[in-house]
Amino acid sequence: MSEIDTPESFQLMEFGVIFEATNHFSESNKVGQGGFGPVYKGTLPDGNEIAVKRLKARSSQGMAEFRNEVTLILRVLHVNLVRLLGCCIHGYDRLLVYEFLENSSLSSYIFNQTRSPLLNWEHRFDIMKGIAEGLCYLHNFTSPPILHRDLKPSNVLLGRDMIPKISDFGLAQMMETGTTEAAMETAVGTYGYMSEEYAKDNIMSQKSDVFSYGVVLLEILTGRRNHEYCIANPGDSLLDFVSLIFLCILKILKKIYILEFFKKVWRRWKDGTGLEVVDSSFHDDSFIEDQVLRSMKIGLSCVQQNMHDRPSTRTIVVMFENGPRSEILDPTRPNYNLTRADSSSSPVTVTDQSVTINEATLSCTDAR
């Protein structure tokens, strides 16, 4: 850890302290399961509550995520970004210690019929705006800029008063100062949230994060999880609801097909019937129809096929702050031209948890 610069507010913590705080990493303290290991709730001797991510032992990928997250998250400080309090290396254990956010993840609300009504329209609007502000900070107010690369509802935690905080920087990437895009060796992230140019061509940019944000925004509005809806209803995916074409990977006769789906939400929005696809569970006194439809328009703009047609995070924040005073160009009808993966040139490995194409792993798990 000597190679990682640590500010005074960051602690290199003793394993025994964390071990006792989490009740010996007991199952009763487990609050989540990520792609690289479980997350536990803990209470320090001073009474402060913490969340501890325990990266998988002997995992080279887990070690890479550990170093990446510590290095990057120490560079940022924003109300809409989760705060890393400390870390610990003990044997094969790599532990990341965060502030504990009592309201769990965004996904645990918007995709849960019982909890979804707890997020009324006012909460959802503030959450969409807060996520945009956190992402804008990463893109424009850090030097060099940081790309998150895995934005999704399970990586947005909700604190007191439902304030959203972007979490999980294990796949984040620093950009070279002055650059707007970069070619990555592999495309990493979660399918359904990855832009076409990133998933197909490994071209990553701030606009790729914007695409992911657009998917999250539309999921908040519809209350539907895109990839689960896709698998349950082949050919009639959430993209039908949100006018978004995403990469949904299915195992069909041992071949991988990248499917294009209909664009129902775009059509509904275009026809002036967009409210018909909005999650009915948050219709309350705070519901403002014009604001909902305007948010839908922002989401549709973020998932445009051409990355240059998507707004920047600065522009998205202005759209939310200025409301009707800020003009939003009408999003065009999605027209994605996705082709079947060529098995002769693209070695494909399918597992229960991930799909690898040309060594590019797309995570199929939602919780991380």
Per-domain residue ranges of the chain: 11-99, 107-363
> What would the CATH number be for the domain defined by 11-99?
3.30.200.20
The CATH architecture assigned to 107-363 reads: Orthogonal Bundle (1.10)
**Per-residue pLDDT at 123:** 96
Tell me if 11-99 shares its fold with 107-363: no
**Per-residue pLDDT at 338:** 42
DSSP letters, 32-86, are EEETTEEEEEEE-TTS-EEEEEEEPTT-HHHHHHHHHHHHHHTT---TTBPPEEE
**Per-residue pLDDT at 182:** 81
Alpha helix (H) residue ranges in the chain: 15-21, 60-73, 107-110, 121-140, 196-201, 206-222, 226-232, 238-242, 264-271, 289-302, 313-322
- pTM, full prediction: 0.80
Q: Which of 5, 93, 150, 279 is catalytic?
A: 150
**Per-residue pLDDT at 57:** 60
C-alpha 331/C-alpha 309 separation (Å) is: 8
Going by C-alpha positions, the residue among 119, 116, 211 that lies closest to residue 164 is: 119
* Residue ranges for the chain with pLDDT beneath 50: 1-6, 229-230, 232-237, 239-262, 337-368
Active site residue 150: yes
**Per-residue pLDDT at 155:** 94
Residues 4-20 pLDDT 10s: 444 556 788 999 999 99
**Per-residue pLDDT at 39:** 93
Residues 306-357 pLDDT 10s: 999 999 999 999 999 988 878 888 888 766 544 333 333 333 223 333 333 3
